Structure 1
């Protein structure tokens, strides 16, 4: 098609046949059928910010320490009381892990959410029937710890840029050992099971407490621009 030239130069694009001016190019076009990424909502960003903070991990450590201490200082409690304590621990920890899952990469988020759901379901099972047998309570708690430790170890090995990877692997190994011990060692009384679970809860809580403090140190170094390994100011 031949286009006539005007004396004055045109500043805009030449309209095609039909008089319709094409819209300005807004960037590279996506191939047909490719999904357009949807940005995270404000709620997801807030959950990610909260779950990635060291204070949230500190709260999770306290939620593990408190029932462990209660079980150790009150070993005469009945199986009903122990089931309630363990059930509440599992529910609260599941809530902490649910929020913490949003601080992970989108590809690893589903794994964290599944672990949180596992905690909540196990807590509901303990609270729904507190008068269950010692074997059932041991099975629920040991299975949760075993699965959680394995998932945490996998995440620590595959996550990129994870601070204090060795400490996270140590917490994962401790959870795996706790699950194996609770599942393998038969307990004949509620008192023995209370001491066993209380001991592992305290050990796991102390490990999570150390991880929370290490994360606080790493976040402070990142904000101040200090190289890794440099102690952060208190």
Structure 2
């Protein structure tokens, strides 16, 4: 889950959030950086969290194998979103937590997709640890970045992830149905928070005269 509000909007019309100058992309890193600073990318990340939650709530009787596949795919996709988001950060110190989270999500996704680990206890442990670590690192980033836009929302999202991780670890589900309902509920809540952050970031971009991919045209 990409729960940060992105870098602060630049003051000039010739800059993008974080103060980076606009211009033709110089390479793959520049393309990823522009994508990571886009509010639409943040919203897509929210959808990637929200949709699996809805599926789990609507289909609570899914088998353990299907549940593991859904969770594994969710973690892999979220890891990809976080990896791209890292390139959108201007400060090197803000990139390390995001990179660590991206690696954590990808590794956890791979573990969920492995057949020997498809047990209720294993899935609960993997998801609980991922959410707990993710929430703590996001909380650290929000507290360390005092100029972070919509800092209060990001702090709330981080605390929500920490609580979700603690609940999953402290109250392990005794059946696939119970675990499905619990994970589905938390994914929906986290997806809604991520969507709120993305829309708030869009508002910040518009107030600064910058669109999702650059400054507004004067034609």
TM-score, with structure 1 as normaliser: 0.76
User: Which deviations, in whole Å up to 9, do the C-alpha atoms of 1:26-58 show, x marking residues without a partner?
Assistant: xxxxxxxxxxxxxx9632222111101110110
Compare 106-115 and 84-93 and name the one that shifted more: 106-115
Q: Render the CA deviation track for 1:183-216: whole Å, top value 9, x for unaligned.
A: 0102111000000000000000000011110000
| Distance in 2 (alpha carbons) for counterparts of 1:141 and 1:129 | 16
Matched, 1:192 2:193: no
Task: Provide, for residues 71-105 of structure 1, a one-character-per-residue CA deviation record: whole Å limited to 9, x for no partner.
Answer: 00000101111100000000000000000011112
Q: Which residue of 1 aligns with 2:126?
A: 140
More helix by percentage: 2
Of the three residues 74, 78, 82, the one matched with 2:59 is: 74
Aligned equivalent of 1:88: 73
For the pair shown, which has the larger CA radius of gyration, 1 or 2?
1
Are 1:126 and 1:137, in contact at CA under 8 Å, matched by a contact in 2? yes
Q: Does 1:61 align with 2:55?
A: no
Provide the aligned C-alpha RMSD in A.
1.5
**Residues 173 and 74 (structure 1), Cα distance of their counterparts in 2 relative to 1, 3 Å cut:** same
Q: Which residue of 2 aligns with 1:44?
A: 29
1:119 aligns with 2:86: no
Corresponding pairs, count: 185
1:118-167 deviation digits (Å, cap 9, x = unpaired): 00000000012276210110000010000000111111111242110000
2:88 paired residue number: 103
> Which structure ranks higher in relative contact order (CA pairs < 8 Å, sequence separation ≥ 6)?
2
Scaled by the length of structure 2, the TM-score of the pair is 0.81
| Structure 1 unaligned regions, length at least 5 | 1-39, 225-234
Inter-partner Cα distance in structure 1 for 2:116 and 2:84: 27
Distance 2:186 2:34 in 1: 29
SS of 1:92 mapped into structure 2: helix
Matched, 1:163 2:149: yes
